[in-house]
Amino acid sequence: MDSCEAEVARSTSETEIKLYLRHGPGESDISTGIGFFDHMLAAFFLHGGFSARLSVKGDLRVDGHHTVEDAGIAIGSAIRAILDKRPSPERFAHAYIPMDEALAFCAADCGGRAYLRCEIPQPQERVGDYDTCLTPEFFRALTSGARVTLHITAEGDNAHHITEAVFKAAGRAVGAAMRERGGAVPSTKGSL
């Protein structure tokens, strides 16, 4: 496996996850059992410059929480595995993404510290079979697994537009922050 790839398998009493993630262009094949979430992950991967194969079998008879959260943990762990192979990632990046009336912003720091600041309005409780309150849960799990800092803000009136803009902005910011820059490590400490 090269420095652009990672595989994660995660098995609990709530979810069974298999993930192959590549930081590089390609197709993604995503199956979580939650249609709108699959669509959001496809947007995250595409706009972040990732290709992925992700299979999640979760306890959807309960609700979508464990599926979404554990997918975030697995994706974050794969991102961290890729970052650990890179001597000098760009480290910082940000993105603004508009979608009709919605506007999302994400700033990322891949410097090794997990932190999430997330201010996302949820004007509707559901989009299809996806509970919009799970968006911050996904990014909280991803930041923890990846040990990255994300600041995410959004505005808008339509939960579909807001959520999609957020996933695209986060994908773009994280993907750009992970790019190998070459040269010195981007830290006055000399390491990330």
Summarised one tens digit per residue, pLDDT across range 112-145 is: 999 999 999 999 999 999 999 999 999 999 999 9
Q: Residue 167 burial by CB count (10 A; 0-12/13-18/19+): exposed, middle or buried?
A: buried
What pLDDT, on a 0 to 100 scale, did the predictor assign at position 180? 87
Q: Amino acid identity, residue 58? A: G
pLDDT tens, position by position, 11-28: 999 999 999 999 998 899
Each domain of the chain, given as residue ranges in start order, spans 5-178
Superfamily of domain 5-178 in CATH is Imidazole glycerol phosphate dehydratase; domain 1 (3.30.230.40)
Which sign does the torsion angle of CA 46, 113, 72, 160 carry? Answer: negative
pLDDT in the model for residue 140: 98
Convert the pLDDT of each residue in 77-113 to its tens digit. Answer: 999 999 999 888 999 999 999 999 999 999 999 999 9
Rounded to two decimals, what is the model's pTM?
Answer: 0.94
Give residue 146's pLDDT. 98
- Cα–Cα distance for residue pair 120/166, rounded to 1 Å: 8
- pLDDT tens digits for range 37-65: 999 999 999 999 999 999 999 999 999 99
Contact residues for 190 (Cβ-Cβ < 8 A; gap 6+): none
